[in-house]
Amino acid sequence: MPALLEFNESTVQCVVFNGSNPHIFSSTVQLLVQGLLSEVSHPSVTQINSTVLSLQYTAPYTLTGVPILHYNILILPTNASVNITDTQYNIHINDHCINYNIIITPWNIVGAGNITTLSNIILYQAPVVTMPQLIEEYNNGTLQVYIEFQYNISCKGTVPQSVSLTINKDKEYHCSVVSPTTNNCTVTTEDTVYVSVTMNITNALEYGAIYSISMSVNNTETTDFTFNISTYHVITAALLSTNDTTVCLECQFKQNSPSTGCYAVFHPINTTGEVFPIYYRIMKSLHDTIVSDCISTLPNGVYSISILDALSYEEGMFNNTAINIPSLITIQKMTTTLLVSSMSVSPATTVSFQSFVDGDTSSSFFFSPPFSTNYNYPVTTSVTSPARSGPSVLTITLSGAAVIVILIIIIITVVIVGLCITERKKKNKKAGDTALYHTASAINPMIKEYNATLNEAYDTIGGVTHPNMAYETIKATGRGTTAGGIQANVAYESIRANSVQVAPTEPTERMYDTINK
């Protein structure tokens, strides 16, 4: 009996004939004939992502022992065809937003079974999220922080439902795109292509911190976005230049920041004993974004530099560093040492600095963060008293320019003093000569001047009234140094002999003869 499909499910009973004996009947059986397979049942298509469709179905019935050889999957209009043996298959498609027809055909040994067609299958493009933009702005002096992004709605699949933030790896913050009014999210449909989402995260942040934020949007293929946020007013700082005496710094602030400036904090390195950081304020006007300043008042030493936000300083958060500058600086000014022998010098002095909290801007340089109205801190570089015996030493730190000026002043002073001494010597010599002249005249007033000759002296004597009366006391026998008149003449002779008294000579005797006459 042929296994024809038309005999399928027929009842069959066999009869055995044995001559004249009664017939023997077999049991009744049903004839089953496996023909072509029926169509698959419960077909479905699910979009996995923007390029993958998942096809699933249920296999048709087949007789035991008569297996289904395979299923043929035909995709139109691409005419892509594939044979599979499973009831689940992922179809990879590159073109979005067009209609596809999927035909499923089961096969067995008899041939191709009945087909199943799935029509108008569309591969939707999964929403694509644009790069988020971080927006920071000041509202009445308060920093407001927003995250803005867009996703496409053209031929989209399931729209995003929520946005999740992980802040510094330990704090979660969520924003519902479905109900944005209660979750600090604003959803705006600008056109038929994109949806804009604005997420206000101000309440999740605090002033004076740096945050690392990871953002993810569900129902999209976009990977997580990671970015950093600083809530300081100052956002960058740079070391512009430095030398042995001066360091120049720059601070950059957020746009429209109400900050009054930044503080450069100089931390001494490799020092012993109690060490205080040195704070220097760099002022900023309301509309400035970048400010810079140079500091030339630092004591000698090696320093690391950090930048403190002005608001942190005003609120007493002196360790709330906004930016660390990686470079070290060295200040090495020239030092002049003066010996102080007649004064009492203490081993250290104290410098007092006024707080800036109340707006005092008379000075921008001070030694330690103030904690009350006035603050006193030891300045170990001011005055030192050595342990050894001897005069105390006053150490004055001068800049190179100041030392040059002082040297010039010293040189000029030495030149002037030298000129004065030379001039004084000249005057003294002239006065000495004059004294000699007057000495001669005092001894013998009848002699006119030192340069007068002996005969001129006698001419002068002869021209006065009673010229010889002064010599009347001179005895006739007086030769040499015996009487007053002779003593006067001896003095005259001594002057001419370079102030050395000598015995009267022949010219003197003649003088006496002339007088006696």
- pLDDT-based confidence at 93, cuts 50/70/90? confident
> Does 12 have pLDDT greater than 60?
yes
Residue with tokens 């790896």: 169
Most confident of 312-326, 333-347, 448-462, 501-515: 312-326
Work out whether strand 225-230 and strand 234-242 pair parallel, antiparallel, or are unpaired.
Answer: unpaired
> Does 436 have pLDDT greater than 60?
no
Beta bridge pairs of residue 47:
53
Residue 331: name the closest of 307, 304, 349 by CA: 304
Q: What is the CATH number of the domain that holds 81?
A: 2.60.40.10
Backbone conformation region of residue 358, classed left if phi is above 0, alpha if psi is from -120 to 50, else beta:
alpha
Q: Tokens in use for 169?
A: 């790896």
Using CA atoms, how far residue 274 sits from 233, 350, 391, in Å, is: 31, 14, 27
Whether residues 286 and 381 share a domain: the answer is: yes
- What is the domain count for the chain? 4
Q: How do residues 257-290 score in pLDDT, each as one tens digit? A: 999 999 999 999 987 778 889 999 999 998 899 9
- pLDDT-based confidence at 373, cuts 50/70/90? very low
- pLDDT-based confidence at 171, cuts 50/70/90? confident
Whether residues 379 and 467 share a domain: the answer is: no
Would residue 434 count as lying in a domain?
A: no
Using CA atoms, how far residue 420 sits from 4, 286, 370, 416, 428, in Å, is: 148, 60, 54, 6, 12
SS3 state of residue 453: coil
Q: How far apart are the C-alpha atoms of 16 and 25, rounded to whole Å?
A: 6
> Does 309 have pLDDT greater than 70?
yes
Would residue 87 count as lying in a domain?
A: yes
| Residue % of the chain over a pLDDT of 90 | 36
> Does 187 have pLDDT greater than 60?
yes
Indicate whether this model's pTM tops 0.85.
no
- pLDDT-based confidence at 184, cuts 50/70/90? confident
Residue 477 has what pLDDT? Answer: 42
Beta bridge pairs of residue 166:
172, 214
Q: Which domain holds residue 309?
A: 239-398
Using CA atoms, how far residue 371 sits from 39, 220, 260, 278, in Å, is: 88, 53, 20, 14
Whether residues 137 and 89 share a domain: the answer is: no
Order of all β-strands in the sheet with 133-139: 133-139, 142-152, 194-200, 185-189
Among 122, 153, 188, the domain boundary falls at 122
**What are the DSSP calls for 325-361, one per residue?**
EEEEEEE---EEEEEESSS---S-EEEEEE-STT---
Whether residues 298 and 344 share a domain: the answer is: yes
Q: How do residues 406-421 score in pLDDT, each as one tens digit? A: 889 999 988 888 888 8
Q: What is the CATH number of the domain that holds 179?
A: 2.60.40
Whether residues 292 and 369 share a domain: the answer is: yes
Q: How far apart are the C-alpha atoms of 11 and 268, rounded to whole Å?
A: 108
Whether residues 279 and 362 share a domain: the answer is: yes
Among 178, 212, 230, the domain boundary falls at 230
**Mean pLDDT value of segment 470-494:** 41
Q: How do residues 104-130 score in pLDDT, each as one tens digit? A: 999 998 899 999 999 999 888 778 888
Whether residues 246 and 331 share a domain: the answer is: yes
Whether residues 263 and 207 share a domain: the answer is: no
Residue 19 has what pLDDT? Answer: 67
Q: How far apart are the C-alpha atoms of 184 and 194, rounded to whole Å?
A: 20
> Does 462 have pLDDT greater than 70?
no
Would residue 406 count as lying in a domain?
A: no
Work out whether strand 88-92 and strand 116-122 pair parallel, antiparallel, or are unpaired.
Answer: unpaired
Whether residues 370 and 249 share a domain: the answer is: yes
More confident of the two residues 367 and 41: 41
Q: How do residues 201-244 score in pLDDT, each as one tens digit? A: 998 899 999 999 999 988 887 778 998 999 999 999 999 999 99
More confident of the two residues 303 and 480: 303
More confident of the two residues 155 and 476: 155
Would residue 180 count as lying in a domain?
A: yes
**Mean pLDDT value of segment 480-504:** 41
Would residue 488 count as lying in a domain?
A: yes
- pLDDT-based confidence at 20, cuts 50/70/90? low
Whether residues 268 and 379 share a domain: the answer is: yes
Q: For residue 239, give every residue at least 6 positions away whose Cβ sits within 8 Å of its Cβ, in sequence order, or none.
A: 247, 248, 249, 305, 325, 327, 329
Among 164, 197, 230, the domain boundary falls at 230
Using CA atoms, how far residue 404 sits from 133, 244, 336, 411, 460, in Å, is: 57, 16, 12, 11, 66
- pLDDT-based confidence at 357, cuts 50/70/90? very low
Would residue 73 count as lying in a domain?
A: yes
Would residue 10 count as lying in a domain?
A: no
> Does 506 have pLDDT greater than 50?
no
Whether residues 225 and 248 share a domain: the answer is: no
**Rounded mean pLDDT of the chain?**
73
Give me the numbers of helices (H) and strands (E) for the chain, helices first please. Answer: 5, 29
Would residue 421 count as lying in a domain?
A: no
> Does 389 have pLDDT greater than 90?
no
Q: Which helix (H) or strand (E) holds 497?
A: none
Whether residues 247 and 291 share a domain: the answer is: yes
